[in-house]
Structures are given as C-alpha cells and as structure tokens.
Amino acid sequence: MAHKMNLHTNKPPIKSALSNKKVNTKGIKKKLEGPFFKGAQSQWMKYSFRKIKNKPLNSLLIPGTHNSFAKSLKSEKSPKKAKINKIFKGYPKKLIRLILSQWKETQTNGPVEQLMDGVRYFDLKICQDSSEFSKIRKLKICNSLYAGILEKSLQGLANFVKFVGKKEVLIINFREFTSVDEKSHQYLFNTLQSKFGKLLADSNKLSPKSKFKDFIRLNQRVIILYGNSDTVSNSKGLLWSSDVIRSPSFKVQDSISLYSKIKAQLAERSKTDEKLFITPAFITPNIQMIIKGLLSQPTCLQQQSSQVNPTIVNWISSNNLPISKMNVILLNHESKHLLSALIVKNLEH
C-alpha cells in the first residue's frame, strides 16, 4: 500500500511507534527515551553496533548539523563586511547585526549538546580574524559574523570521543575557509593531530565504503574532511579530500520544493556509490524572507526551523523517501527528539 505523503504537518513523529525497537540494554536503566533507553542516544552507535557493524559508513543514516557551531553570533565584526553592507545598504548597523544573528545562527545547541543528542556529522565554516594576534584566537567559526574560537569547540568533540563515546564515529567537515593563510592551515592541522591523535582516520586505510566495524576495530573514529587541497596532500592521509563527499546545495524557501529536491537527489544515487552522501534537509532564507521576518513570523531561523524540522522527520519516519539511499542528513536547529526518529531508522534495515 502506498504511503500517504504529508508535506506540511508540524506534528512530531509518534514516539510510541519507535520505542519498541530492540537495542542492547545491558547495563542500562530500563527507562525509554524515544527509541532508545535513557542515556543511550548519546552513544547510539555503540548500542546499535550489532545492527550496523557490517554496513558501509556511507549507507548508515547519520544525523548532521548545518553550520554546526554557528550558535552565538554576537560579534560586531564580520569576515564579509563589504558584501553585507552592500546587501543591507541604508540599514542601521545595529539592525543589520540583529538581523544577521537571527537568521545566521543555525544551531540552538553547542557541540557537546549536539553530540549527546546523537549528531555525528559536523559542517564547519572557518574564518581567519586578521585583527587577532594569537594563533588560537585567529581561527574562528563564522557564518557572516564570527561565532567564536574554533579550538574551544574542537576540544569538546575531542573530550567526547575520547572519554564518553568510545564506540562512536565522528565526521568533521571543514567545508569552507575564508582568508585562512598557509600558516594557519598548518596550525589547524597540528591542532587536530594534538587533540585527536591516533583517533584520526587514515584515508589510506579507510574509505566511505569501509564497514562501520572497521573504524571501531582500528580505533580510527574521527574523519576529518578538509576543503584545502594543499593541506590534504601534506597530511599523509590524515585529512580526507572533499572529493569523497557528494554535497549539493538546494537553496529552497519552502517545504514542497525541499521535498522535491531531496527526492530527486536520492533517486539519482547509485547503489554502488562510493562517496559520503549529504542531504541538506533545511530551508535557506533569502533576502525576501528575512525582510518579511521584520513584520511577521517566522522572525528568525530558529522559528522557521521549528516549523519545518518535524515535517522533514515525518517524511523519513513514514518512509515517504527512500531511506536506504540516505546517508548524512543535515539539519538546522536540531533537537534530541527529532534526531531519535532519524537514528532509529538504522535499526530497521
């Protein structure tokens, strides 16, 4: 029987239907938390191991976040000042900063909270702040405005994968760099080696088609995708080229268009695909949407995401989309409840 497709519902996925999935419950207090027992979602790969161990990494359904660390955009400085001033010509500077912070803050939760919710793919934009003299302070998270020092966020990921999620695999995609010079690239690579050490996955030994259990067996559980080819070439396999991922940009402003784009993208994916496959499951605000938000809802990206995210998860939960072809799902303003409905799909196939 064909599934009835609902493109507009704001109702979250039904938890009772998901809570019957069998997971390894040894040593876990038997109190349900979505599809997992309480506390297990923070280590969902560990508790799903028997089900996912023989699957290639690029066939798992992995929750990810878009512009993952762009949580708090309070800076008065911008790496794209000239472009922003041109777009918002005539607007007061304080209003411009307010608008940008409302529509460019893509996440509510910080790195550690995202990890505990089950996020395993992180999408980063990095900028070099030329006004800073310290190497640590130069490299910052950015999304039109600066969002904070990169190294602090990386430390949170390192602490998790070393001490909490010892059976979890993380994918960190340094997707875009702005004004980052060669010395800073080398400094960042050294920082990644220092923080993650032997946990860095070697692209000479592993690939997106490698089975999940191989990453665990080798204890190489942190994949670094890096958008600078020279640094990748000099990394001896510890940085992975962006060529190993397929990551389109939809840039749509409504859920119907988003559904059509996702469905078409998945239809094109081959069963023999050897790359990580990214599905951007979010709406991209344009200038018209932002200006409209000054007078009516949604007034910010978080509000807009709260309207569309349950719809996206319902598409996946109800199997309206071909789940077997999905890999990494990118969301704005993720939440634990929404991610649980995505993670549990790994237990069904």
CATH number at residue 259: 3.20.20.190
In a domain, 166, yes or no: yes
Q: Is 344 helix (H, G, I), strand (E, B) or coil?
A: helix
* 50 part of a folded domain: no
Percent of the residues in the chain that have a pLDDT greater than 70, as a whole number: 85
- In this structure, is residue 38 part of a structural domain? no
Mean pLDDT of 284-310: 93
Q: Which amino acid is at 320?
A: N
Strand partners, 222: 170, 200
CA-closest candidate to residue 167, choices 272, 68, 43: 43
User: Helices marked H in the chain — which ranges?
Assistant: 15-18, 44-47, 49-52, 81-87, 93-104, 111-117, 135-138, 150-159, 182-196, 212-218, 229-233, 255-267, 287-292, 301-317, 336-343
Q: What is the pairing mode between strands 328-331 and 62-65? A: parallel
Burial 104-118 (b: 16+ CB within 10 A, else e): bbbbbbbbbbbbbbb
The C-alpha angle 71, 74, 77, rounded to 5 degrees, equals 120
Please classify residue 179 by burial: count the beta carbons closer than 10 Å to its beta carbon, then call 0-12 exposed, 13-18 middle and 19+ buried. middle
Quick one: which of 318, 317, 339, 321 has its CA closest to 330? 339
Per-residue pLDDT reduced to its tens digit, 335-349:
998 899 899 999 886
What residue type is assigned to position 153 of the chain? S
Cα separation of 192 and 259, whole Å?
A: 36
In a domain, 145, yes or no: yes
E strand or H helix that includes residue 279? strand 276-280
d(CA 203, CA 73): 34
Least reliable range by pLDDT among 133-142, 206-215, 267-276: 133-142
Report the distance separating Cα 15 and Cα 193, nearest Å: 40
- For residue 322, the enclosing domain spans 63-347
Domain count, the chain: 1
Whether the per-residue pLDDT at 294 is higher than 60: the answer is yes
- Span 106-155, pLDDT tens digits: 999 999 999 999 999 999 999 999 888 888 899 999 988 888 899 999 99
Residue 3: phi and psi, rounded to 5, are -80, 140
> Is 220 part of a structural domain of the chain?
yes
What is the average pLDDT value for the chain, to the nearest integer?
87
- Alpha helix (H) residue ranges in 169-228: 182-196, 212-218
- Burial code (b: 16+ CB inside 10 Å, e: under 16) for 4-23 equals eeeeeeeebbeeeebeebeb
The residue count for the chain? 349
Check pLDDT > 60 for residue 159: yes
Residue 30 placed within a domain: no
Contact 346, 61 (CB under 8 A): yes
pTM attached to this predicted model: 0.88
The label of the residue with tokens 């893509």 reads: 106
Is the model's pLDDT at 243 over the cut of 90? Answer: yes
Q: What confidence tens digit (pLDDT) does each residue in 9-50 have?
A: 444 433 333 334 443 434 333 455 555 667 789 999 999 999
What pLDDT is recorded for position 30? 44
242 domain residue, yes or no: yes
Q: How confident is the model at residue 212, as a pLDDT?
A: 99
Whether residue 5 lies inside any domain: the answer is: no
Per-residue pLDDT tens over the stretch 40-99: 899 999 999 999 999 999 999 999 999 999 997 766 666 666 666 666 677 777 777 888
For residue 275, give both structure tokens: 């790359």
Mean of the pLDDT values across residues 177-198?
97
